[in-house]
Structure 1
Amino acid sequence: MMSNSKVLVLGATGGIGGEVARHLADTGWQVSALARRQVVGEHPAVHWLLGDAMDASAVAKAAKGCEVIVHAVNPPGYKNWAGLALPMLEHTLAAAKAQKATVLLPGTLYNYGPDSFPLIDEAAPQQPLTRKGVIRVAMEQRLRAFADEGGQAIVVRAGDFFGPRAGNNWFAQWVRPGKAVTRVVNPGSCGHQWAYLPDLAKAMVEVLVKRQQLPAFSNLHFEGHWDSDGKQMANAIADVARRYTGKAPKMTGFPWAWVPALGLFNETLRELNEMRYLWQQPVRLDNSQLQALLGAEPHTPLHQAVEESLRGLGCL
């Protein structure tokens, strides 16, 4: 379905923000994107604006005339979540209130603890185990409050991202970007949820098209690819790599034992260690409400999605 609606995407230089911005533009939306640096060579129909999501006036100016704001922005370098994540969201909500715009937030699994596992439905309690999870819960609570105040907020939650332009993600840690795949590092050995970004972006845009059918606050789960035994993704990477090189990559586990000590000196590794529990037990999203709204999720077959992702990383 084509649209002439105007939308602002925050975080369009990132994986999911960029994918959503491109798909919105492809389907006829008038897309503006706010970035802290000059952007060249991206989608020609995306109107890039210089500005920082930490600058309330820049966000308010960029959002003028918008019916939707996609809040896909993360703290620079994925650092200082405690100091930056909620202020950036407040700037989005202030702009959305002024424009009477819908806010769309890509949600995470960090919100949930083991009490909600193994199958997480949309009404599951959010009792996170990590610092970032606590912040993500606070963000969604603020969205609920925004909806109670008369706005509309939508969370579309997914598992770990992968895709040809996915940016910082677990998939890229399994291989060496820019190098042929000779080794696949698998951090888990149980069921795990994956989201192919082009499919997720299409689903999010379809949700936005149907936003008038939704209540003031919606929490929708995207299933994507369910790796039931924790080996299907690794095997798919190996299968695709073998077709190109003629040799099977070596399969190894992730060096979790080293992460706690290294995390004493590195914030990212410290957070990584906190997230380990998501790889130690099956964690699956129930997408019943999203399916009821869309009929079916956009879905690229796993091997095709893996091949496109590896090509995007420069591994093929």
Structure 2
Amino acid sequence: MKKVFIAGATGGIGSALVAELTSRQIEVIAFARTEATLKERFGENARVTCIAGDVLKDQDVLKAAQGADTIMHAVSFPYEQWEEKHMPCLENLLKVAQQMNSRLIMLDNIYAYGRAMSPVKEEVEKRPHTKKGKKRLEMERLIKNSGVPYVIAHIPDVFGPYAVNTVLYSTLQAVVQNKKAYFVGRMDKTREFAYTPDVAKAVVALALNEESYNQHWNIPGCLKITGDALQSFLHEQFNYRKKLKPATTRMIAFLGLFSPFMREQKEMMYLTEAPVIVDSEKLQKMLGHIPLTDTRQSLTETIHWIETSKSL
């Protein structure tokens, strides 16, 4: 792997992938919609070529991805745009991968597992019951039938620098501002959250391993924590004295009357009632060691980024 094209390079996972790849002296083509953001984020990194374009336009992708032997799909769309945009985006990336004889690394979530028994293994039969889970399974099948060598990485909810469209980000942002903070879901259920630099390390390690291809891989989170335990941790480590308030399914349903995003979020609330925790035994055997940052460091680095970023 000598040159990697990253679609969605300015997102939380995309930014972490750029950092991890270039730390290994691998050339990166960072592709996203906004040129100013690309240059601000990566302009001083000599191993990064910044190209702005529209992932829904195949010619934009083809032109930008020239010379890349690996394509990484780290694009995310708002829930309300999934039906319209996810399949055309994937189709364009696969078309370019076929034309250039490149590989595809798919940064996926856990929605296709549906109501699975935790910890869930990669080989379990996927039976998604939500429209978002069914969409992710449809995307998996398209990849498998494309003839393109692939790695599909299943990742829990994430947190970390630049990961702003996540459930934990809104909680930590309110903590930084010393405001009333909400925790999405029940406070007594153990949830799994993956730190974006950890995700990037594991995914790049898989991408560099010939034996990883044409398989699914679970990427575990460094945080397996309840809302109650997170509240205690924030009190002890960050002097946050307010109580976290649970954002219940009923509250999300009410907000959905006014917000398209919250309307779409409602069907995913089952993950807060019966959380899916991934089994990472297969990844452990492949890598020998799974890179996981400890709780305090991952949260400290994320909170420091929020404090110093323009996101407040």
User: Larger deviation: 128-137 or 229-238?
Assistant: 229-238
Judge conservation of contact 2:192–2:277 (CA < 8 Å) in 1.
yes
In the alignment, what sits opposite 2:169? Answer: 172
Question: How far apart, CA to CA, are the structure 1 residues paired with 2:99 and 2:245?
Answer: 52
Instruction: For 2:204, give the aligned amino acid.
Output: V
Q: In the alignment, which residue of structure 2 is the partner of 1:238? A: 235
| Contact 1:206-1:294 within 8 A present in 2 as well | yes
Instruction: Could you tell me which runs of 5 or more consecutive residues in structure 2 were left unpaired when the two chains were aligned.
Output: none
* In 2, Cα distance between equivalents of 1:282 and 1:51: 36
- From 161, 164, 171, give the equivalent of 2:158: 161
* Aligned-pair CA distance for 1:255: 4.1
Q: Displacement of 1:61 after TM fit?
A: 1.4
Query: Structure 1 stretches (4+) deviating beyond 4 angstroms?
Result: none
Q: Which residue of structure 2 aligns with residue 200 of structure 1?
A: 199
Quick check: 1:220 aligned with 2:217?
Answer: yes
Which consecutive residues of structure 1, in runs of 5 or more, have no partner in the other structure? none
**Inter-CA distance 177–69: structure 2 relative to 1 (3 Å threshold):** farther
State the partner residue of 2:98.
97
Cα deviation, residue 91, structure 1: 0.4
Q: Which residue of 2 aligns with 1:74?
A: 76
Question: Residue 53 of structure 1 is aligned with which of 52, 55, 59?
Answer: 55
Task: Give the whole-Å Cα distance in 2 for the aligned partners of 1:206 and 1:180.
Answer: 36
Structure 2 partner of 1:274: 267
Contact 2:223/2:295 (<8 A) preserved: no
> Per-residue CA shift, 1:272-293, capped at 9, x if unaligned?
1111100102421001111111
Q: Which moved more, 1:151-160 or 1:40-49?
A: 40-49
Equivalent pair of 2:90/2:139 in contact (CA under 8 Å): yes
- Tell me: CA distance 1:167–1:307, structure 2 relative to 1, closer, same or farther (3 Å): same
Query: Paired residue for 1:109?
Result: 110
The alpha carbon displacement at 1:236 in A equals 2.7
1:20 lines up with 2:20 in the alignment: no
Identify if the C-alpha distance between structure 1 residues 306 and 164 changes in structure 2 by more than 3 Å, giving closer, same or farther.
Answer: same
Separation in 2, partners of 1:184, 1:239:
16
- Partners of 1:154 and 1:219 within 8 A in 2: yes
SS of 2:145 mapped into structure 1: helix
Change (3 A) 1:46 1:235: farther
- Letter aligned with residue 165 of structure 2: N
**Alpha-carbon shift at residue 183 of structure 1 (Å):** 3.9
Amino acid at match of 1:264: L
Distance 2:255 2:179 in 1: 25
- Aligned-pair identity (%): 27
CA deviation map 1:63-108 (0-9, x unaligned): 2221100001123x44311111000000000111111111011111
Shift of 1:227: 2.0
Alignment-derived partner of residue 307 in structure 2: 314
Structure 2 Cα separation of the partners of residues 201 and 69 of structure 1: 14
Amino acid at match of 1:192: R
Query: Which residue of structure 1 lines up, in the alignment, with residue 295 of structure 2?
Result: 302
Cα deviation, 1:142-182, whole Å, max 9, x if unaligned, reads: 11112xx2x21111111110112222111112133594335
SS at match of 1:258: helix
User: Are the structure 2 counterparts of residues 14 and 103 from structure 1 closer, same or farther at C-alpha, using a change threshold of 3 Å?
Assistant: same
Distance in 2, matches of 1:234 and 1:158, equals: 24
Question: Could you tell me how far 1:207 is from its partner in structure 2?
Answer: 1.0
Distance 1:133 1:87 in 2: 17
Q: Provide the residue aligned with 2:7 in structure 1.
A: 10
Question: What's 1:88 paired with?
Answer: 89
Q: Deviations over 1:30-57 (max 9, x none)?
A: 1001222212222323211121100001
Aligned to 2:284: 291
How far 1:229 moved relative to its partner?
A: 4.5
Please give the TM-score of this superposition, normalised by the length of structure 1.
Answer: 0.89
**Which amino acid in structure 1 is aligned with residue 109 of structure 2?**
T
Cα RMSD after superposing both structures: 2.0
Superposition deviation, residue 249 in structure 1: 2.9
Distance in 1 (alpha carbons) for counterparts of 2:280 and 2:153: 10
Q: 3-state SS of the aligned residue for 1:275?
A: helix
**Are the equivalent residues in 2 in contact too, given 1:191–1:226 (CA < 8 A)?**
no
Amino acid across the alignment from 2:51:
L
Cα distance in 1 for partners of 2:176, 2:193 equals 23
Count of residues in Structure 1 that have an aligned counterpart in Structure 2: 302
